[in-house]
Structure 1
Amino acid sequence: MNAFHGNELTSALVADALDTFGLRHQCLGPGLAPVRSESANPTCLVGPAFTLLAQAAAHPNPASPYQGLLEGMDHVSAGAVVVFATGNSAAAAVWGELITAACQHKAVAGAVTDGFVRDAQALAQSGFPVFNRGSVPYDSKGRLDVVAHQVPIEIDGVRVVPGDLIVADTDGVVVVPQQVVPRLTRAVEAKQAAEHDVRASVARGSTLRQAFDQHGVL
């Protein structure tokens, strides 16, 4: 997706492109939102998925806490989007300031989780994009364990495979299966061009219906 720069690539454009491929259920649930950044720039996150899977901890006082998380963080690469599946658990925060600092040092692009975060103020100040359900103060130690990384996961009924393209912004989070990524650029560019034509037609005095009848997009 190197053909796109700045805010040209949006989750809405990608979702529309996937519709044309018959992939109509690739958006994660509407409850996911980025930690509000102190930057005036809108949050936009694009990159290949690096997956983590968490489940309820087997013991409240584990002898070796965080092992699965630490192993996953050892393997995540620059430019990746960490996608952290918890089964929508509110039992504990799975993301915080220290994980963010480590990911920023490795030039990780950002993170998406169906779980919760903590250290929200520090996350906002960091500018690191983390899409999540909300904030809770609980530590994950003895509550949630990472049991696997780089395995297929599911969030809100959407399958995420390591390497799938993640596109996230203030409208939501879209998962693009790897096999259709090579076709995505052309489809997005076609939708962008059609939307530009609609805007131009309306600016010239066409009604919205006339512009739609002429260009076929809305």
Structure 2
Amino acid sequence: MTQEARRRHRDDLDRARTTLYVSVISDVLDGYGIRDRALPSRIRPLDDETVLVGYARTGLYRDVYHVAEGENPYELEIALIDDLKPDEVAVLACGTSGRIAPWGELLTTAARARKAAGCVTDGCVRDVRAIRRMGFPVFHGGIAPLDSRGRGVVAAIDVPVEVAGVPVCTGDLVFGDADGVVFIPRDMIGKVLAAAYEKVAGEDHTRAELAQGRPLREVFAKYGIL
């Protein structure tokens, strides 16, 4: 990718980050019949003020119950974090056991230094006060002090995964804010963003007329947005 292409790419993400929000993207995905890309309500941001926009890099964890002598249980986890590029998001699928807390202060520090955009996991996180101080967007399935060592290990990276039951692939666009997280399939990104900008403009007109006291029924008939 050329430097000019990288600049345009970053400008597109900056515009999405400042203009769009999760609920409007979810509505647009619904309109395209894609109704399974919003994470369930139990996945929450560590800080409601953070906004996350970036491209998924997936890591698939599996449960383990011991560490073999001489084994490095962090090998693929380290490989994923060290390979993060600017505007990429670590998306870590940990399953349903609740035993794995893959994300903490040190991974946050490493990812932030690489200008990654954030982390999304259905596992737990720890070191939450330190992460909040860094202002790094992290969406999680719970908070716990558990080290992943002896509990979970990355089995594969950049493979299709399910996070809290939602399918996601490397390259999908991740969008998170206080309302939750949605994934835009990588082959739909341009189309979904264009429709989302259009819907936001319509919502702005709707909001302005409602604030002036126009009846909701009348405004809805005019713009078809609610």
Report if TM-score (shorter chain) is over 0.5.
yes
Corresponding residue for 2:27?
16
Cα distance in structure 2, aligned partners of 1:209 and 1:21: 25
**1:29/1:102 CA distance change after superposition, 3 Å:** same
Question: In the alignment, is the contact (CA less than 8 A) between 2:53 and 2:174 conserved in 1?
Answer: yes
Corresponding residue for 2:119?
111
Cα distance in structure 1, aligned partners of 2:78 and 2:59: 11
Answer with 99-108 or 7-16: which moved more: 7-16
Question: In the alignment, is the contact (CA less than 8 A) between 1:94 and 1:115 conserved in 2?
Answer: yes
Cα offset for 1:36? 2.7
Partner SS, residue 198 of structure 2: helix
Q: 61, 75, 81: which one pairs with 2:89?
A: 81
Corresponding residue for 1:99?
107
Partner SS, residue 187 of structure 1: helix
CA-to-aligned-CA distance 1:129-184 (integer Å, 9 cap, x gap)? 11001211111111100111111101233210100000000001000001111212
Partner SS, residue 185 of structure 1: helix
Partner SS, residue 196 of structure 1: helix
Segments of 5+ residues of structure 1 without an aligned counterpart are: none
CA-to-aligned-CA distance 1:29-63 (integer Å, 9 cap, x gap)? 111111137xxxx2110011000110112534552
The one-letter amino acid paired with 2:209 is: S
Cα distance in structure 1, aligned partners of 2:99 and 2:68: 15
Partner SS, residue 102 of structure 2: strand
CA-to-aligned-CA distance 1:100-150 (integer Å, 9 cap, x gap)? 110111111100000001111111111111100121111111110011111
Cα distance in structure 1, aligned partners of 2:14 and 2:64: 43
The one-letter amino acid paired with 1:205 is: G
The one-letter amino acid paired with 1:156 is: A
Corresponding residue for 2:147?
139
The one-letter amino acid paired with 1:30 is: S
Corresponding residue for 2:5?
none
Q: 19, 23, 41: which one pairs with 1:30?
A: 41
Count how many residue pairs are aligned between Structure 1 and Structure 2: 214
Corresponding residue for 1:169?
177
Cα offset for 1:2? 4.1
**1:6/1:55 CA distance change after superposition, 3 Å:** closer
Calculate the aligned-residue CA RMSD, in Å.
1.6
Partner SS, residue 53 of structure 2: strand
Question: In the alignment, is the contact (CA less than 8 A) between 1:3 and 1:185 conserved in 2?
Answer: no
Question: In the alignment, is the contact (CA less than 8 A) between 2:101 and 2:145 conserved in 1?
Answer: yes
**1:126/1:2 CA distance change after superposition, 3 Å:** closer
